Amino acid sequence: MCGIVAYVGRKIAQPLLVEGLKRLEYRGYDSAGVAVIDSAGNMHIRRAVGRISVLENTIQNGQALPESFIGMAHTRWATHGAPTECNAHPHLDNSGRIALVHNGIIENYAALKKFLSGKGHQFSSQTDTEVLAVLIGDLYDEMKVQNHIPPGVSPLQRAVQAALHQVEGTYGIAVICKEEPDTLVVARKGSPLIIGVGKDEYVVASDASAIVEHTTQVIYLNDNEMAILKPDAFRTCTIDDIAISPVVSQLENKLEEYELGDYPHYMLKEIFEQPTAISNTLRGRAEQKDGRIVLGGVSKYTRELIRAHRIILTGQGTAWHAGLVGDYLMEDLAKIVTECTYASEFRYRNPIVEEGTVVVAISQSGETADTLAALREAKERGALALGVINAVGSTIARETDAGIYLHAGPEIGVASTKAFTCQIVTLAMLALYIGRRRFMSQAQCQEVIDGLCAIPDQMTKVLEQSDHIRTIVEQFCERENWLFLGRGYHYPVALEGALKLKEISYIHAEGMPAAEMKHGPIALINDGMPVVFIATQGSQYDKVISNIEEVRARGGKIIAVATEGDANIHRYSEHVIEVPDAMECLQPLLTVVPLQLIAYHAALARGCNVDKPRNLAKSVTVE
């Protein structure tokens, strides 16, 4: 939620900041703004409602910014206050000396606002962020008159530290002050910030996409840490001013991986990248020749995994759907009692975490607030904490005991696609890793590994049907209610298909087990209603056919995702999308692809913005 980019160095700041915002726009696009300090020490702010392009046009057409070598910018996903210019970031203190951008939520902002109003401070927005800016400004005046600030420590640093001791909630912030025009102060708690380290320059951003063009050397700030950055020096410390020796890491992904290339949308690009992404996830781990799984990331805890009594998989949204597939995989292949639970529910329950419990946090970004909180709760209760994460260096990845990176490459599209399939592949490998060491025969392990390694080529065949899927969708895209039904491994796929359609086309859709339909939802079916069945040949194929008959009897129109060569399914369906035959436990990797394409083509047909769906942002870092 929300994107921050800030710069201090020897380059002109404005173009770098605006370009960085464009790369972060998937984190929020309600409004945007930029603040710079010119060589005369004057603060300049531009803000606009809407996409980054609106802000860019504002700057180019009559409101140009002066040359500056320090500044910061923000793209907003609204929490407190509607998307208006006065609520857009950056926010100023009352003196106009200090500007701040913020990602997160200040939970006690109302009490702080009342206190500051009592001191005579004025507020022009409805945001919690402005309260923090005004608080820092109020404390800055106090710091300037104090004589005990050590040499080399600025009043701005002290004011930020003092303010952060008074706030409750989460934050990733960047702060500049026109009285200290060469100093950028940044801090985090619960919201990610990365510092890119260049030659006589620093680029700070919410994620690596806004940094990688300028440097591949980065520092990941941890909670309650801050940095004071100048062109020729930097210092990292806690908000209690305890010095920290920073660890400089190397970014994994290259700039071209963040580029759109020849695709019209990131979502389509990432759907078509899935065969390559899955190959990268498998590489070096699924050793087909030897029939074994190698997971160096969790090898230290092999004994605990083998002896585990229970596995809890947790995540939100698409990651939770992947966890549901993982639930089936763990019980099928590893024979361990497994539960998949929403992280947002787990963290507020009184969960039973007995000895021998393993908790696996699933998150593309590694920054999902609820998943991070659930992980911390599980660790507090003594569970072995693992992560299935895509973003290297992310907070969840750093807080787990061990984990497995997806290596899917950057996922920019708000509607997750390739992360979902790579999460399933990773959970399948983890299930095989445990199962082989518990009871699974070499022959069974080899069979599943062979099946996994065949998936990329099989998926390519599914992707070749994109035009066929488009023609189907165009017949139903004006219908406002859809059902997605599946059994067994395909129940989570039905949930994911419905979610994708809701996210980007704004069509109301429900996913559920096919057998559940008769227990109420069948009342929704009317003449012409599109109903998507995942009806591949497997252990429950005949049961699914019976469910299809029940829908047809009530006027529903059947779109079946079926096994290649199944002639029977055409008797029961208006439209059929074929997928290659695969082991039942791996079929979700293939059957989800047509559902991703259904959502994509429906959104296009309805004129929706595929990569920037309304009300959504890519990484949910606030509760």
Positions marked active-site? 2, 618
Q: Map tokens 């920037």 to a residue.
A: 612
Q: Which amino acid is it at 447?
A: E
**402-405, strands of its sheet edge to edge:** 337-342, 310-315, 357-363, 384-389, 402-405
Cα separation, 330 vs 332, whole angstroms: 6
Is 88 in contact with 40 (CB distance < 8 Å)? Answer: no
CB-CB neighbours of 216 under 10 Å: 18
Question: 241 Cβ partners below 8 Å, 6+ apart?
Answer: 153, 161
Neighbours of 82 (CB within 10 A): 11
H runs (alpha helix) in 336-417: 343-346, 369-380, 395-399
531 Rama class: left (phi>0) / alpha (psi -120 to 50) / beta: beta
**Both tokens of residue 409?**
């490459």
Amino acid at 285: R
Taking alpha carbons only, the member of 591, 515, 521 closest to residue 556 is 521
Beta carbons within 8 Å of 463's beta carbon, 6+ residues apart: 271, 272, 274, 275, 593, 597
- Report helix, strand or coil for 6: strand
Per-residue burial over 275-310, b = 16 or more CB atoms within 10 Å of its CB, e = otherwise: bebbbbbbeebbeeeebbbebebbeebeeebeebeb
DSSP of 187-237: EEEBS--EEEEETTEEEEESSGGGTTTT-SEEEEPPTTEEEEEETTEEEEE
DSSP-derived 3-state class of residue 612 = coil
Structure tokens given for 35 = 């603040």
Supply 503's token pair. 């996210």
